[in-house]
Structure 1
Amino acid sequence: MATYFSDKSLRFLRNLARHNERTWFHANKHVYEAEVREPFRRLLVDLQPDLLAVSPHYRAEPRAVGGSLFRIQRDTRFANDKSPYKGWQGARLFHARSRETAAPSFYLHLQPGNSFIGAGLWHPETPTLRRIRQFIVDNPGSWKTAAHAPAFKRRFALEEDDMLVRPPRGFPEDFPFLDDLRHRNFVASRAIDDATMTGPRLRSVLARDVQALAPFVDYLCAALDLEF
Structure 2
Amino acid sequence: MKNDIIIPQSSLDFLTQLKENNNKPWFDEHKSEYLIELNHIQNFADALLKELSKSDVLETQSGKKSVYRIYRDIRFSKDKTPFKTYWGGSYTRATSARRGGYYFHLEKGNSFFAGGFWGPNAADLKRIRSEFAHDPESFREILNSKSFVNNFGTLQGEQLKTSPKGFDADHEAIDLLRYKQFLVIKRFTDDEVLSPLFLEKALEAFKNMRPFFDYMSEVLSTDVNGASVL
TM-score by length of 2: 0.84
| 1:39 equivalent in alignment to 2:47 | no
Specify which of 17, 22, 25 is matched with residue 23 of structure 1: 25
CA distance in 2, matches of 1:7, 1:115: 13
- Deviation of residue 220 (structure 1)? 2.3
Shift of 1:54: 2.3
Query: Does structure 1 residue 70 correspond to structure 2 residue 71?
Result: no
Give the alignment's Cα RMSD to 1 decimal.
2.5
Distance across 1 between alignment mates of 2:25 and 2:128: 45
Q: Which amino acid aligns with 1:179?
A: D
CA distance in 2, matches of 1:131, 1:21: 45
Match of 2:184, SS state, is strand
Q: Radius of gyration: which is bigger?
A: 2
Question: How far apart are residue 76 of structure 1 and its match?
Answer: 1.3
| Range moving further from structure 2, 104-113 or 165-174 | 165-174
Q: Which moved more, 1:148-157 or 1:167-176?
A: 167-176
Q: Establish whether residue 7 from structure 1 lines up as the match of residue 5 from structure 2.
A: no
SS at match of 1:58: coil
Distance in 2, matches of 1:223 and 1:80, equals 39
The residue number in structure 2 matching 1:96 is 94
Q: Partners of 1:161 and 1:186 in 2: how far apart?
A: 5
Q: CA deviation at 1:156?
A: 0.1
Instruction: Answer yes or no: is the 8 Å Cα contact 1:108–1:118 preserved in 2.
Output: yes
Contact 1:107/1:118 (<8 A) preserved: yes
Measured at CA, do residues 59 and 42 of structure 1 come closer, stay the same or move farther in structure 2, by a change above 3 Å? farther
Note the residue ranges of structure 2 that are not aligned, 5 or more in a row: 223-227
Unaligned runs of 5+ in 1: none
Query: 1:198–1:132: structure 2 CA closer, same or farther, 3 Å change rule?
Result: same
**Contact in 2 for aligned 1:164/1:183 (Cα 8 Å):** yes
Partners of 1:53 and 1:179 lie apart in 2 by 35
Distance, in Å, in 2 between the alignment partners of 1:39 and 1:170 is 49
- Pair 160,208 (structure 1): closer, same or farther in 2 beyond 3 Å: closer
Q: How far is 1:175 from its partner?
A: 4.3
Q: CA deviation at 1:181?
A: 1.9
- Which digits, 9 at most, give the CA deviation of each residue in 1:127-169, with x for residues without a partner? 4322322233234233123333232012103454632112313
Contact 2:49 2:63 in 1 (8 A): no
Residue in 2 that maps onto 1:201? 197
CA distance in 2 between counterparts of 1:178 and 1:54 reads 33
3-state SS of 1:77 partner: coil
Q: Distance in 2 between matches of 1:160 and 1:201?
A: 27
Decide whether the 8 Å contact of 1:51 with 1:59 is kept in 2.
Answer: no
CA distance in 2, matches of 1:63, 1:111: 18
Amino acid at match of 2:140: K
Identity of counterpart residues, as a percentage? Answer: 28
Deviation (angstroms), 1:173: 5.0
Structure 1 segment 88-167 matched on structure 2, within 5 A: 88-97=86-95, 103-158=99-154, 160=156, 162-167=158-163
TM-score, length of structure 1 as denominator length: 0.85
